[in-house]
Amino acid sequence: MSKTHRPCGVYMAEGGIVAAALAPHPPHLVYAENPEQNEPTSEGGWEQLRWGYERLRNSLKDVEYDVIVILSPHWQTYVGTHFLGVEHFKSLSVDPIFPNLFRFHYDMNVDVELAKAIHDMAKEDGMSVKMMENPDFRVDYGTIVSCHMVRPQWDKPVVAISSNRSRHYYSVEVMQEMMMQLGESTRKAIEASGKRALVIASNSLSHRHFTTETAVPEDMSKEHITSHAMHLWDMRMIEMMRSGKAREVLDMMPEFVEQSIAEADGGALTWMLSALEVPETPAILHGYGTIIGTGNAIMEWKCGEGAGESGD
């Protein structure tokens, strides 16, 4: 059913942001998928989220895009925002927190041209930015997990953007201002490039972990949200996004971050919503679930002709 909404982004036949997604990155999801690239194997688990990712992938099948542009909170930088600036990475990513679950052999291409274009645009807009050009650099697992779950074929080049942790020095409000600017710079650079981009915010919602792990990590009988308050916050944010109330999401962000220890403090969600010009388009909820107690939602914003379709 189509509704009348202001579409996210400025859809251009020549290029622009063609879709966007909130795509959380707990390594448990890759672990549960048992892809050949990951060393550990599992009996499954977290199916509601993994099936959510499946729905997202199906929804994106008819969306033509040239590049994935992603911001991950697990590449944390304090001296500005950084961009991967090496064309190809092939290495092993081991999660330092869950090494028992995630030891992933990745092989990814980077769209350095677009990365540099966003870098330059952000710099022109007054931001502190830097290209990461060290070939020994290991790509963060947040970027890898979200990219794999969205596009397991690994056939699209990636623009990976670091999470500027200014929030820790200043406040969530300052983070918001910076990420709003970065989102705008990102959008302008993508549009100017003529490329069609899928934009991904790689973060969960509420982010209070359990501090114990069951003997079988994928034992779903032990999986649930850490507290009722976290559940309420997650549902509140999801409902606003489902209703096309991105502006309210941004207004609520400081309180949300403080009260739910939200990973959105890394700026990814704000950046993405800004890149989409604070859409009134209802987001499609493809799945919600918890991972070691944290709240995770998989949501999609369609842009251009498909905008406004409600998929949930």
Partner 1 sequence: MRSWNGNVVKGQVRAVTESGVIKSIVVPAHPHPYLVPEQNEGWGRLRAAFDSAREEIENSDADLLIIYSTLWPSIIGHQIQADPNPEWIFVDHDFHDVGSIPYSFDIDSKFAEAWDEANKKRGLQSRTVAYHGFPIDGGSVVALKLLNPDNRIPAVICSSNIYSNRSETTVLAKACLDALKEQGRKAVAVVVMSLSNRMFTEPIDASDDKIHSLKDDEWNNKILEFLGDGRLEDVAQLSRNIHSQIRVQKVVSFKPMWWLSGMNGQHNNFTGRVLAYEALHGAGGGVVILDPSGDGVGDKEYDEDDVEFYQGDRSVLDSVMAETIAEEEVQIESEESSEDIETSLLMALAKEQQSEHGPELWEPTEGDGQHSTEKAPKPVGPYPHARKVGDLLYLSGVGPRQADSNDIPGGPIKDEEGETLDYDIEAQTKACIENVKTILETSGSSLDNVLDVTSFLIDMDRDFKGYNKVYGEYFAEIGATRTTLAVRALPTPIAVELKVIAKA
Cβ distance to partner 1 smaller for residue 44 or 99: 99
Q: How far is the CB of 59 from partner 1 (least distance, A)?
A: 32
Applying CB under 8 A, which residues contact partner 1? 75-80, 82, 92-94, 96-100, 103, 128, 130, 132-134, 136-138, 140, 162, 165-166, 168-169, 209-214, 222, 226, 292-293
Cβ distance to partner 1 smaller for residue 110 or 292: 292
Q: How far is the CB of 190 from partner 1 (least distance, A)?
A: 24
Q: How far is the CB of 167 from partner 1 (least distance, A)?
A: 9
Question: Which run of H or E residues covers position 179?
Answer: helix 172-193
Residues 198/63, Cβ–Cβ less than 8 Å: yes
Q: How far is the CB of 88 from partner 1 (least distance, A)?
A: 16
Q: How far is the CB of 170 from partner 1 (least distance, A)?
A: 9
Which are the contacts of 277, defined by CB distance < 8 A and separation ≥ 6?
8, 9, 10, 187
Which are the contacts of 158, defined by CB distance < 8 A and separation ≥ 6?
67, 68, 69, 70, 84, 108, 109, 110, 111, 143, 147
Q: How far apart are CA 151 and CA 302, in angstroms?
A: 16
Cβ distance to partner 1 smaller for residue 128 or 310: 128
Cβ distance to partner 1 smaller for residue 51 or 137: 137
Cβ distance to partner 1 smaller for residue 10 or 131: 131
Which are the contacts of 68, defined by CB distance < 8 A and separation ≥ 6?
147, 150, 151, 156, 157, 158, 159, 197, 198, 200
